[in-house]
Each structure stands twice: as structure tokens, then as C-alpha cells.
Structure 1
Amino acid sequence: MLPVNQAEQIILNLVQPFDRAYDVETLSLLNASGRILAETVTSSLDFPHWNNSAMDGYAVRYDDVQTCSAENPVILDIVEEIPAGYQPQTPIQPGQAARILTGSVMPTGADTIVIQEETQREGDRVTIFASPQHHAFVRDRGAFYQAGNALLPPGLRLQAPEIAVLAAAQCAQVNVYRRPKVAILSTGSELVGIDQPLQPGQIVDSNQYALAAVVAQAGAEPLMLGSVPDQPEALKTAIQQAIAAADMVLSSGGVSVGDYDYVDEILAALGATIHIHAVAVKPGKPLTVATFDHEKGRGKETPSLDSPTSKKQLLYFGLPGNPVSALVSCWRFVLPALRKLSGLPSPWEPKFVKARSLSTLKSDGKRESYLWGNLRLVDGEFEFELATGSHSSGNLINLAGTSGLAVIPLEETQISVGDHVQVLPIG
């Protein structure tokens, strides 16, 4: 069995990220939310576009107001009012001011804003009762961004702030990486679909839905291929279909040492290179990681824009069949690989947080153990509380509603109440 960190590095080293020459599509800005930017975006606009006011008040010459106070106020003539969207027409001369609103263009001659709370207006004159700092509340053209520079870098996931920046820069379309296609299939003659009546000995194929949810939440496209019985020919056909359709394949079940565990054997027969067979992790020891190249796995050598075969190598994960084991393995090993594949920049590894344990956490010390529970931020410190009930790899029930996996390192057997523990946020 490989240590967890060693398995993680092997997997990440196998991943070949999307290629900007083949794996990019152009989307309208409205359809680009959540997608990953594939190229540097620049703008021909300065931000701000012009010198403008950051407050409601009066645009003045600093020389006119630098010595004023409540005891020695200054009275200025108001020569213009500048609402938002208006181009000032009158330059500010000595002894003059312009009424100005937030975001409005600064008039020529003015270099400072006096906020209206420190003034009193009477007709066309305004009294200034406090001396501002020079250049106070003036936002200079190009202070936030100068035209021609990099505005947003490639590898950035486009969320609300980035979408807003692109809209402000008048980018109606953006080039983004396509969504990775992830084929998902479940193995086991005991599996039935959610719409089928259960017979004795059968179970519902929940892994198909759980893994599809994780994949979709990561921004990839799940291809749900259903369940396959423990029959070598049927499984071989299903795996061939999966590797022909996707950038990554996730199968669950069939990778242990049982009499009906055929996945590794079939992968080898199809020409896969198997890199990992098992990892020292609990839950989830059985884990097959394999790769296919074009010639062996997909039968195509020439990449095209509309086909996932632009990838030189496909990564195959044979996950455990127990539902909690499948999910933990997906969170711990598949998601980092998917982040790298999809075009996100490093680091791709999971981000753990240090939390104070509210529960006693136990392990046999033989494998790195992951215990699920609730992770909360309380008064600036993370706390972790173990979920009640059985922590069995087949028990999905108490996994629901949890938000973190506490890690008990290899060869450690207990983390006591009040001790700190590394926790992987989930969900």
C-alpha cells in the first residue's frame, strides 16, 4: 500500500492539464460563470476611466481650503453642478467650487473633494468648515488598472467579481477551458437503479449519483454510464465506451481482491498502465489509478476541438465500491486531479485547516484515517465535532449533513478532546 501523500503526487504527476490549443471554447459572458479562463484578458480602458469623486461633496482647489477651519471657514462660489454621467463644462478658478456627486467626473482645475458633511450651502455659495487632505476623495484615472496591462490571468475561475470586471471592460465574450468530461460507471451484479424495485440481496447504485454530484460541483461534466454486472465481457465493453467518451473515468467497485473483482485485469488487457493498486487510507484502501494513451485507449491520434481526444493521456480511477469509501477517495484523490486537468493553477492539493477537536477521534494506526463530522468556525477558531453513529464505509446515513473529514495520521491511534486536528472541508 502506498502512503497517501505519495499516491497523491503520483496522481498529480500523471495529469496532463488542458491544452490552450485544443481545449478552449468561446462563450458569451452570461454563460461563462464558473468557467476557467483560458487566456490573459487585457482591456483598452483605464480603471477608473477618468478622474472622479469618491464622495458626495464639492470639488475644490486645495490651495483655497488648506487653512480653513470651523473658526476660520472659507466661502467659495459654486459655478457648476456635476451629477453622474455629466461632462463638466466649467474649469474651477481660485475661489470657486463645483457641487459633485459620487462617481462624477472631476472638473478641470479642482484637485480635492470636500465632503458635504463639512460644508454648508446657501444659494450659489458654499462654506467650508474643515481643511481636507490634499487630493482627498479623488480617484485618479488608471489608479486601479492601466489600459494594456493584464487584467485577469488564465486559470482563474470566473465568479461574480471576475464577471463584473469583464463586463466593466466590455468583454462580451471570453475564451475558457471546456468542461472536463468525466465518465462514471458502477460495477456489481447487486446494483439496481433508483427506479427499480429491490430484490433480496440487491442495493441501489448510489455511487453513480454521489460521484456525479462531486464532479458537477467541481465544474466538470459527468457522463453517467450506469451500472455493470460482474461479468468480464460486459465490464470490458463498458470501460471501452467510457474511455472513448471522456477525459477521465471513475468506476466504483471491482478493484479489491474478491473473486468477482475484474477491473484491474480488464484494464491491463485493454492496454492501460496501472500506477496504483492500493493506498494506506481508511476508508478506501482499494484504489486503482491507471492511464491510457491515444493508441491504447482511444484509438485516435489526431486531436480536434470538439473531442476529448485532444488529451494525450486519460486518467482512470477505480474507486472502492462502498459508498463512503468511494466519496472519500473522490474528495481526497480525484478532485485534485480534476483541478489540474481543468486548467486551474497550482496548488491542486486539498486545503486542510487546523481545528480543535470537540470529540475523541480513534484509529487503529495502520492507515491514515478520515473521520467525518462538522467543521465550524467559532470565534476565529475552527472546531470539529465527530458525526454520531457508526463510521462504517457502508454507512451513508451519518455522512449526510457533514462538512469536514478529520485526519488521523498513520501510526497515530487517538486525538483527544481539545487537541488540534487537520480537517479537510467537504461539501
Structure 2
Amino acid sequence: MLLVGEAEAIVLNLVQPLGERDVEILDLLAAAGRILASPVAGKLDVPHWDNSAMDGYAVKYEDVKNASDSNPAVLEIKEEIPAGKQPQMTVQPGQAARIFTGSMMPLGADTVIMQEQTRRRDNLVEILVAPPAPGDFVRHRGEFYQAMTPLLQPGVRLAAADIAVLASAQATEVPVFRRPRVAIFSTGDELVGAGEPIGPGQLVDSNQYALAIAATAAGCEAVRLGIVKDDKRVLQEAMDRALKAADVVISTGGVSVGEYDYVEEIILNLGGTIHITSVAIKPGKPLTVATFPQKELPKAPPKLYFGLPGNPVSTLVTFWRFVAPALKKLSGLTSGWGPLFVPARTRQDLRTGGQRETYLWGKIHPSDTGWEFELAAGSHSSGNLINLAQTTGLAVVPVGQKAIAAGETVRVLLV
């Protein structure tokens, strides 16, 4: 049985990120949330031209460098330049142009005086405060970005600010990695789908829904393959179908040591290599991780298989701890794909058996002194899905430790 850290290292070392063959070109809006596949350069300098950072007056610095309230510089206003309009004149000594935030700077002017530091009389303006240096309140062409130089580097997930940056530089076609496809199925004769009639001894398969949403949140395309009965032939056909349909396969159930747990045997029948069978984690001890070579594409990376335990809490805990980081790395992210832990002060006593690294679910709250962890009320059984609702963090109690007292610091996995 592997320690959690050992299992994590094995999983992440097995992941080979998407490559050149997995790139598609999308327009700006469609690229939101996707992973950038190659460097992007813009077509325009930013700013596109010298412009004003303030409402005020465009002037020559030499005309106003000695201005004060008791000895204002008096300039003749020769033009008004609204935003979006090209200036029509060149500012000469003793002249100024009325200008607005974002307006293009006129030729001859090198400084902007904000209107709060002026006093206007008809077509004259009095400058009451000397600017500190030439160029004050002027944004120069290319000051923020020069056209055709790298704008964004590959391996980042494109968020709102990134899309705005690309739009401002007119980079309207964006190379991104395709979304990894994740096939999901549940195993067990006792399972029925949500909304179906439920008979004695049967259980609703919540795992399909949880994993589809979780895989989508990790940036993948979820392919739900439904419930597979505990029959070797049927299960082997389903696993083979899943491997052909996706980059990653996730199944739940059938990975323990029961008489109807066939997953590991079928992995070997289909030519897979098993790397992990159990981890010293609670909940989630029976975890199978395997790889399958792509026989039709010998140079392609092997496909990943995760056999997660069937208990619904165990399913999600092992997904959050091991599968989500793997999917994010696979998607092409160059950083930020590992699990994120923060130290937090626990509001309640945390108790475990101490034999395995234990994950207790609850909510993480900001406070004046950092983070606080609030343990979910009720049973922390791997079969009790109910109090997992609204979970935002998992408190980690290390192997060999049986308790962490209220008020002490605990490491919390953000989910």
C-alpha cells in the first residue's frame, strides 16, 4: 500500500501533456477557459498612439514648467480633441489643446495638465501647477506592448483579462489545446440511474454525475458511458469501448477485493499496465491506476485509467486528490495543476484512527488571521454523501496522528 505522496508522484509522472497534434484554432470568445498552445503575438502596439491619461490640456512642458497658482502660465486654446478623433493642428509655443482621457495627443505637445490644476477663461487656460517632468499624464505608443512580440506564453488558461489583452492587440485567432476526453462509467449490479425506479438493495449512481461535473471543471470533455453490470464480458467490452473513446478512463467500483471486483483482471486482459492498486488514504484506499499503450499510434502517449472506489465520498476525495491534478497537467497547463493546500485553524477537534492519511471534509473560511476550517457536521463515513454538499476544503490528518485539537493548524486541500 503506497503512501499518498508516493501515489501522487507516480500518477503525475505518468501524465504526458497534450502536444502539437492536439491544437485547434478558435476565435476569442470560444477560446475563453481553454489552454493556450503556443505563444501569441499581437498586431498592434498598445497604446496604438500617444494618448492622454487624464481630462485636461495638452501643452508644451517648456511653457508650463514654472507655473504656479500665484504665477500661472496662460495659454491659448487652439483645439478640442474628443476621444476617437485625430488632432487637426500642431501645438505651438504659448498654445494648448483641450484633451480628454484616451484622446490622441496632438503634434507639438509633450505633456498633459489635468483640468483640476487649471482655470479657464474663454479661449485661454491658466496652468496653476507645474508638472514634475515632461510627459506627465501621457501614455506613449507601445509603452505597454510592442506589436509582434510575445504577448502570452503557452500553458496558461485563458481568463477574462487574457481575452481582453488579446482583443486589445487584435490577436483574434487563438491556438489552444483541445479538451481532453474523459470516459466515465460506474460498475455494479446494485446501481440505478437518477430518476429510475429503485428496488430493494439498489443504490442511485451519483458518481456518474459527480465525476462528469468534476472532469468538466478540470477543463475536460466528459463522456458518460452509464452503468456496467458485474459481468466480466460486459465490463471488458465497456472498458475497451471507453479506451477507444477517450484519453482518460475513470470507472467507479469493482477495484476492491470482493468476488465481483473484476477491474484489475480486465485491465491486464486488455494489455494494460497497473501502477497502483491501493493507497494509504482514508477515504479511498482501493485505488487502481493503469496505463494502456495506443497500439495504432505507437509514438502517442499511453492512455490513463483510474479505477476509483465506489463509495461516493471516496470517489470524489480520490478524484480531487489524484485525478484532478492529472487532468489539469494533461490539458497542457504548465503550472497550477498540482493540488493546492493552505494552512488553516480548525474550529473543531479532528479525530481519526491514525493508520492512514485521513481527509475530513468541510468548509474553508477567510479570517483576519488567515484561513479557518469548519468540519462538516455528522458522520464522516465514505458512504455518507449528504454532508459532502458545499464542501470547499478537506482537512488532512497525517498518518500516525489521531487528533488535531480545535484551534490548532491543519493542512487543508482546497477543492
* TM-score of the pair, normalised by structure 1: 0.95
Alignment equivalent of 1:301, drawn from 297, 300, 313: 297
Task: Give the distance between the partners of 2:97 and 2:377, measured in 1 at CA.
Answer: 67
In 2: Cα distance, 1:346 partner to 1:154 partner? 11
Shift of the alpha carbon at 1:347? 4.6
Q: Distance in 1 between matches of 2:369 and 2:348?
A: 19
Q: What is the aligned length?
A: 414
Give yes or no for contact 2:43–2:170 (8 Å, CA) kept in 1: no
Q: 1:263 offset after TM fit, Å?
A: 0.3
Task: Give CA-to-partner distance per residue, 1:2-45, whole Å, 9 cap, x none.
Answer: 1111111111110111011x101111222111111111101231
Q: Letter of the aligned partner of 1:144 in structure 2?
A: F
Give 1:331 shift: 0.5
Q: 1:8 maps to what in 2? A: 8
Task: Report Cα offsets for 1:29-80 as digits up to 9, x if no partner.
Answer: 2211111111110123111111111111111112221221212211111111
CA distance in 2, matches of 1:113, 1:16: 54
How far apart, in 2, do the equivalents of 1:269 and 1:194 lie? 32
The answer to whether 1:403 aligns with 2:402 is no
How far does the alpha carbon of each residue in 1:174-216 deviate from its partner, in whole angstroms, 9 at most, with x for none? Answer: 1111111000000111000112111000000100000001011
Q: Which residue of 1 aligns with 2:71?
A: 72
- For residue 376 of structure 1, report the CA deviation from its aligned partner: 1.1
Following the alignment from structure 1 to structure 2, what is the Cα–Cα distance between the partners of residues 97 and 232? 86
Q: Provide the rounded CA distance (Å) in 2 between the counterparts of 1:63 and 1:354.
A: 57
Answering whether residue 356 of structure 2 is matched by residue 364 of structure 1, we say no
Unmatched segments (≥5 aa) in structure 2: none
1:51 counterpart letter in structure 2: D
2:106 is aligned to 107
Q: What is the identity, as a one-letter code, of the residue corresponding to 1:323? A: P
Runs of 4+ residues over 6 Å off in structure 1: none
- The equivalent of 1:41 in structure 2 is 40
Name the counterpart of 1:306: none
Taking the aligned partners of 1:367 and 1:5, their CA distance within structure 2 comes to 12
CA contact (8 A) 2:43 2:171 kept: no
CA contact (8 A) 1:16 1:311 kept: no
CA–CA distance in structure 2, aligned partners of residues 177 and 79 of structure 1: 54
Does the 8 A contact of 1:4 with 1:281 survive in 2? yes
Between 192-201 and 408-417, the greater mean CA deviation after superposition? 408-417
CA contact (8 A) 1:119 1:127 kept: yes
Residues 176-185 or 122-131, more deviating? 122-131
Aligned residue among 312, 319, 323 for 1:323: 312
Other-structure match for 1:120: 119
1:58 aligned residue: 57
Moved more, 333-342 or 80-89: 80-89
Letter in 1 for 2:83: A
2-side partners of 1:108 and 1:342: how far apart?
Answer: 49
CA contact (8 A) 1:50 1:141 kept: yes
Give unmatched runs, 5+ long, in structure 1: 303-309
Distance in 1 separating the partners of 2:381 and 2:65: 73
1:375-410 CA-to-partner distances (Å, cap 9, x unmatched) read 011225111110101111111110101211111112
Q: Which residue number in structure 2 is paired with residue 419 of structure 1?
A: 408
The percent identity for this pair of structures is 59
**What is the distance in 1 between the residues matched to 2:96 and 2:351?**
72
CA–CA distance in structure 1, aligned partners of residues 301 and 341 of structure 2:
31
- Residues 395 and 412, structure 2, Cα contact 8 Å, conserved in 1: yes
TM-score (normalised: structure 2): 0.97
Distance 2:391 2:13 in 1: 31
